[in-house]
Amino acid sequence: MMGVLFDAEYVDETREMRLWLKSGERVFFAVDGSFIPRFFVEGEDPEKLARVVEKIEIRGNGRIIRPVSVRTVEMKRLGNTVKVLEVVPEQPKDIQTLRRFIREMPGVRQIYNYDIPVSKYYLISCGLSPMDGAEVEGEMKGSEVILSAPPKPVQLTAPRLSMMSFDIEVYNPAGSPRPEKDPIMMIGLAGDGGFRRVLTWRRFPTKLDFVEVLESEKKMIERFVEIVRERDPDILLGYNTDFFDFPYLRERARILKAKLALGRDGSEIVARRRKFATATRVRGRIHIDVFAMVDFLATIGSIRLVHYTLENVYKYLLGKDKPDFEFTKFVEAWEKGGEAWERLLVYNLSDAVAALELGHELLSLFLELSKIVGQVPFDVVRMTPGQMVEWLLIAEGFRRGELIPARPVAETYEERLEETYTGAYVMEPVKGLHENLVVFDFRSLYPSIIVTHNIDPSTINCSCCAGTGERVPDLPYHTCRRRRGFLPEVVEKILKARFDVKKRLKDLDRESHEYKQLNAKQWALKIIANSFYGMLGYPKARWYCKECAESVTSFGRHYIKWTIRMAEEAGFRVVYSDTDSLHCLLNGKSRDDAMRFLDDVNRRLPGMIELELEGFYPRAVYVTKKRYAMIDEEGRITVKGLEFVRRDWAAIAKHTQEAVLRALLEDGSREKAARIIKEIVERIRRGEVSLEDLVIYTQLKMPIESYRSIGPHVVAAKRLREAGREVEPGMIIAYVQTRGRGSISERAYPVELLGDREYDPDYYINHQVLPAVMRIMEVLGYSERDLTSRPGRQRGLDFFLQ
DNA sequence: AAATGACGGGG
DNA sequence: GTGTACGTCATTT
């Protein structure tokens, strides 16, 4: 049987690998209980070591742990052949026990391949790639195949994967919802083919035809499970589902004794703890948290927003607005019904629809990444770019018989953290507001440098080319001229594949399915290629190499500085440059001139190194290195390094910052920006600002007694408790800074107990509004005094700037 | 100056 | 990844 592999998982309890495949409309899974990963031991005398290792017997948990097979084999380490022991355990979980024991034996130098999770080891050693074909052989029972031989990779076009998204809305009377007592009010669902549904258990009258009212919260959850199983999507998505929806749903289901049997085999969801969130696995389906994909794109700099809310991301990527709903109004809607209730139902569905549409928009990129990296989409959508490169290298290393370096132990990691090196060139910006800019981007610079200059842990400062190797600019390093490194080979393969894809793209209709598919592929290849450098300098990476990373940045500085000189000579004015990008003023020149400059530079750059047009920007404001804001031709604002206004800031600060950036970038008016600030400062002074603009929301993370440092929200929480309110960890404390004596904390009052106390204008001016805007306004020539002085009394710099 | 605690996405 | 981010900022100590 053949199918496209879309998920793979190792099931601990049964010690089986499970492969999920799709062929046409048919989904089935293959089970393999025979796979045992192996690991390798490098020692002084392999033959002698083998005789000792094969006799190992460790008693533990009522059984004896011993290797099933020990033999000496030839493998490669950074390209050099080495003789090592191959150790096969009886069970995967014995690996760690055996490894810890062997590590302490005399004559043992290094151990390899012991820290690769079973399911990943399986895919790599079978040579399988997700979103590609696999041929399985064995006995068929229903939709289950018991494998009689290892699966084999085959060429197969991926069938379409069906999707469904969901979103829950939760009752939150305490500010932050508490899963142990606050119920789920509704569950919104959206699926392919226009399926739209909101499940709820509140019997308010509504004319909305997508609403289905159930008897209880438990019945609602059960109906949710039923719908998912009936419609049977391959992919289940949502926004921030790893962090919020699934953990919440899981806890409510536990309390209500409802089974979240969303798996294709009838199994319940499985929570996998990782990073700071819990990734939820749904067997036989791919659970994708759209936020994880968005976060990834933000990390690699593909999208840049002030806040990554569903609303903002939806607007930015799809250009559409969606209804909003204040989270402080949930309680009212739930308790009183009426118009607010209807709006909440609509909002809930719109969230599910937005997640679905974003899923459609972003999925193809991540499926391509999955294919390239060789790991399943469930894992790949949750990986950092560095992890992706690492898994690709592990698979490539396997094919070449390379030993896989272990992830560094804590001590090595600490040592690496201490090692610093000169990074990229970052130009001090020409500060202030500029108009008509063109931004060029050197995205393929670092991978091209790795390929062109053969940078690799095995080629850097090789002994065979001492004195004759290729020199690294400004560093006492050289690279090998005789042997090609592992990394340069892999990177070159990726860059060439991308080049081929881009060539094929030229002849295709931009709206066609094939174009979109191939475009996702070239994008994925670019992302992977660009991530090699980051991995070389990441202290937790297996192929970490400080000298390599240092050499890459040195070559990078060399090329960017050359390009800056070229741009200046061509008559542009470079106002900013960071690593691989230059921001230039058109300086009276045309767009065609900019494009001609680009061609000219590219003709003169060596080999694979290529400058690209990032875009034209009508306006931009530069504050310091790494801090600037730009507006593109569609009116989209991107902010870098200035976005520090968060939930624990008053709305007045957030609104002022936004308004100031808009005045500068949309209207090009520093006077308007200054006027906005002055007006707000005056309104604060006159006591005209409404309470909701002044409230600061901060979460109480611990019981009050546990705090060693008593911040404003802790004092406010204490006051709430003294007034007889229930206060517990997880609550969002809403407080206002009031006038009076004492520290900031001593003057924090919860909104509920504010009474007729006056807010503190000085605090809101000096600790909220001004910090949010001063970094920007200072570079435009304004001082705090200019912006806070009373109108008519002092003109400050305004006079000179006009 | 150092220590402490909160932010993000979600509701 | 048999694991517990991470870099930045405000306020307290």
Residues A113-165 pLDDT 10s: 999 999 999 999 999 999 999 999 999 988 899 999 999 999 999 899 999 99
What is the distance, to the nearest Å, from the Cα of residue A255 to the centroid of all Cα atoms in its chain? 32
Burial class (CB in 10 A: 0-12, 13-18, 19+), A703: exposed
Which nucleotides in chain B lie closer than 7 A to a protein CB?
Answer: 3-11
Which whole-number Å values give the CA distances from A280 to A58, A266, A283, A377, A787, in the listed order? 35, 15, 10, 13, 50
Residue with CA nearest C1' of nucleotide B9: A240
Contacts of A123 (CB under 8 A, 6+ apart): A8, A129, A130, A374, A375, A376
Which nucleotides in chain C lie closer than 7 A to a protein CB?
Answer: 1-6, 8-13
The spacing between the Cα labelled CA in A272 and the C1' in C3, in angstroms, equals 9
For A419-485, where are the alpha helices, taking DSSP H only? 445-452
What is the nearest nucleotide to A116, using C1' and CA?
Answer: C1
What is the nearest nucleotide to A768, using C1' and CA?
Answer: C10
Q: Is pLDDT above 50 for A756?
A: yes
Give pairs for A122-127: CB < 8 Å, separation 24+.
Answer: A122/A8, A122/A10, A122/A17, A122/A32, A122/A35, A122/A37, A123/A8, A123/A374, A123/A375, A123/A376, A124/A374, A124/A394, A124/A395, A124/A398, A125/A35, A125/A37, A125/A398, A126/A150, A126/A151, A126/A152, A126/A153, A127/A152, A127/A153, A127/A399
Pairing of strands A152-154, A133-135: antiparallel
Q: Is pLDDT above 70 for A552?
A: yes
The spacing between the Cα labelled CA in A536 and the C1' in B4, in angstroms, equals 33
Q: Which two structure tokens, joined as six digits, stand for A338? A: 């009426």
**Which residues get their CB within 7 angstroms of nucleic chain C?**
A 12, 93, 96, 115-117, 120, 272-276, 279, 379, 382, 386-387, 390, 407, 540, 542, 644, 708-712, 743-746, 767, 771
The reported pLDDT for the residue numbered A643 is 62
Calculate the dihedral angle through the C-alpha atoms of A108, A109, A113, A116, rounding to the nearest 10 degrees.
100
| Matching residue, tokens 């406010």 | A716
- What is the total residue count of chain A? 802
Bridge partners of A279, per DSSP, are: A272
Residue with CA nearest C1' of nucleotide C5: A275
Q: What percent of chain A has pLDDT over 90?
A: 74
Q: Are A703 and A714 in contact (CB under 8 A)?
A: no
Query: Does A735 contact strand B, using a CB cutoff of 7 Å?
Result: no
Q: What is the 3-state secondary structure (H, E, C) of A18-73?
A: EEEEEECCEEEEEEECCCCCCEEEEECCHHHHHHHHCCCCEEECCEEECCCEEEEE
pLDDT, chain A, mean: 91
The spacing between the Cα labelled CA in A484 and the C1' in C9, in angstroms, equals 46
Q: How confident is the model at residue A645 (pLDDT cuts 50, 70, 90)?
A: low
CA gap A379, A586 in Å, rounded: 44
Q: Are A570 and A414 in contact (CB under 8 A)?
A: no
Q: Is pLDDT above 50 for A795?
A: no
The spacing between the Cα labelled CA in A742 and the C1' in C7, in angstroms, equals 31
- Strand B-contacting residues in A 715-734, CB cut-off 7 angstroms: 732
Residue with CA nearest C1' of nucleotide B10: A244
- Strand B-contacting residues in A 282-301, CB cut-off 7 angstroms: 291
Give pairs for A147-154: CB < 8 Å, separation 24+.
Answer: A147/A30, A147/A31, A147/A32, A147/A34, A150/A32, A150/A35, A150/A126, A151/A19, A151/A30, A151/A32, A151/A126, A152/A126, A152/A127, A153/A126, A153/A127, A153/A128, A153/A129, A154/A2
pLDDT tens digits for A248-275? 999 999 999 999 999 999 999 998 877 6
pLDDT tens digits for A5-14? 999 999 988 9
CA gap A136, A776 in Å, rounded: 61
For A243-319, where are the alpha helices, taking DSSP H only? 246-256, 290-299, 310-318
The reported pLDDT for the residue numbered A306 is 65
Q: Is pLDDT above 70 for A371?
A: yes
Bridge partners of A750, per DSSP, are: A735
Question: Pick the residue with more confidence: A196 or A327?
Answer: A196
* Identity at A185, one-letter amino acid code: M
The reported pLDDT for the residue numbered A275 is 63
CA gap A371, A247 in Å, rounded: 29
The reported pLDDT for the residue numbered A794 is 44
The spacing between the Cα labelled CA in A524 and the C1' in C9, in angstroms, equals 34
What is the nearest nucleotide to A382, using C1' and CA?
Answer: C1
pTM equals: 0.85
Q: What percent of chain A has pLDDT over 70?
A: 97
- Strand B-contacting residues in A 205-244, CB cut-off 7 angstroms: 239-240, 243-244
* Identity at A723, one-letter amino acid code: A
Question: Pick the residue with more confidence: A638 or A675?
Answer: A675
The reported pLDDT for the residue numbered A797 is 43
CA gap A366, A631 in Å, rounded: 28
The spacing between the Cα labelled CA in A749 and the C1' in C4, in angstroms, equals 34
Pairing of strands A270-274, A235-238: unpaired
The reported pLDDT for the residue numbered A793 is 44
Contacts of A340 (CB under 8 A, 6+ apart): A329, A332, A333
The reported pLDDT for the residue numbered A688 is 94
What is the nearest nucleotide to A245, using C1' and CA?
Answer: B10
CA gap A476, A478 in Å, rounded: 7
| Matching residue, tokens 């998912």 | A228
The spacing between the Cα labelled CA in A165 and the C1' in C9, in angstroms, equals 36
The spacing between the Cα labelled CA in A423 and the C1' in B4, in angstroms, equals 31
Dihedrals phi, psi of A480, to nearest 5 degrees: -70, 140
Q: Is pLDDT above 70 for A800?
A: no
The reported pLDDT for the residue numbered A644 is 58
The spacing between the Cα labelled CA in A767 and the C1' in B2, in angstroms, equals 22
- Strand B-contacting residues in A 600-629, CB cut-off 7 angstroms: none
DSSP state of A245: I
Query: What DSSP element (H or E) covers A581?
Result: strand A581-585
The reported pLDDT for the residue numbered A412 is 84
Q: 3-state DSSP: chain A helix, strand, coil percent, rounded to 5?
A: 40, 25, 35
Bridge partners of A211, per DSSP, are: A198
Q: How many CB atoms lie within 10 A of CB A474?
A: 13
The reported pLDDT for the residue numbered A127 is 95
Q: Are A777 and A771 in contact (CB under 8 A)?
A: no
CA gap A17, A5 in Å, rounded: 13
Q: Which two structure tokens, joined as six digits, stand for A587? A: 């300086």
The reported pLDDT for the residue numbered A627 is 82
Of the candidates A119, A99, A104, A112, the one whose C-alpha atom is nearest the C-alpha of residue A16 is: A119
Q: Kindly state the average pLDDT of the residues A193-208.
A: 95
Terminal-residue alpha carbon distance, chain A: 76
What is the nearest nucleotide to A172, using C1' and CA?
Answer: B11
Q: Is pLDDT above 80 for A725?
A: yes
Pairing of strands A163-170, A184-191: antiparallel
What is the nearest nucleotide to A169, using C1' and CA?
Answer: B11
Q: Which two structure tokens, joined as six digits, stand for A684? A: 């604060």
Q: Which two structure tokens, joined as six digits, stand for A249? A: 């749903």
Q: Is pLDDT above 80 for A443?
A: no
Q: How many CB atoms lie within 10 A of CB A468?
A: 10
Q: Is pLDDT above 60 for A283?
A: yes
What is the nearest nucleotide to A747, using C1' and CA?
Answer: C11
Burial class (CB in 10 A: 0-12, 13-18, 19+), A772: buried
Which whole-number Å values give the CA distances from A404 to A67, A75, A95, A112, A599, in the listed order? 20, 10, 15, 6, 42
Q: Are A46 and A75 in contact (CB under 8 A)?
A: no
The reported pLDDT for the residue numbered A608 is 78
CA gap A553, A533 in Å, rounded: 9
CA gap A178, A320 in Å, rounded: 32
The reported pLDDT for the residue numbered A349 is 97
Query: What DSSP element (H or E) covers A696?
Result: strand A696-699
